[in-house]
Amino acid sequence: LPVQTAWTSSFFPSGRAVYTDSALQESFPAMQNFFCNFCCVLEENGVKGECVVTDEGSKVLEIKNIAVLPECQRMGYGKRMIEFIEQTYRDNFRILRVGTGDSQLTLPFYKKCGFIESHRIKNFFTDNYDHPIFECGVQLIDMVYLEKNLLWESNTIHRKK
């Protein structure tokens, strides 16, 4: 994956994004040890959000992290970042995947963006973290994986058993 790209005016006419590992790591020191293939920091009159995507092999991209500042949420920034990734990489990848907790905050967002649940890893959060993780007052237990087909208009994902 290229580590540099640019937003087109159809996404954010007055904005730009910075897409290099070094730029992301400089802006976000916590990312220093995180390997990623594609990083973007969305700037539109200041930083609004970021997204980290990795090449998982077999023509699969995985969103490892996507975040939008709380005061900028529900304004379309997260959805636009996902649309940008889809359009930029649809010729070279077939699946866009994301793993998240079973949360009423994140699952509806991804489903609204066209993702379909593919499988779950039971007890992921309780087995892999030394402390409980809560979102919207609910403890996260299972990792929920959702996928979006980048090749076709119809988004048919074969569920894993």
pLDDT of amino acid 84? 83
Residue 46 or 27, more confident: 46
Q: Is the pTM of this model over 0.85?
A: no
pLDDT of amino acid 30? 43
Six-digit token string for 17: 């994004």
Q: What is the 3-state secondary structure (H, E, C) of the chain?
A: CCCCCCCCCCCCCCCEEECCHHHHHHHCHHHCCCCCCEEEEEECCCEEEEEEEEEEECCEEEEEEEEECHHHCCCCHHHHHHHHHHHHHCCCCCEEEEEEECCCCCHHHHHHCCCEEEEEECCHHHHHCCCCCEECCEECCCEEEEEEECCCCCCCCCCCC
Please provide the average confidence, as pLDDT, over all residues in the chain: 75
Whether the predicted pLDDT of 146 surpasses 90 = yes
Task: Name 43's bridge partners.
Answer: 16, 47
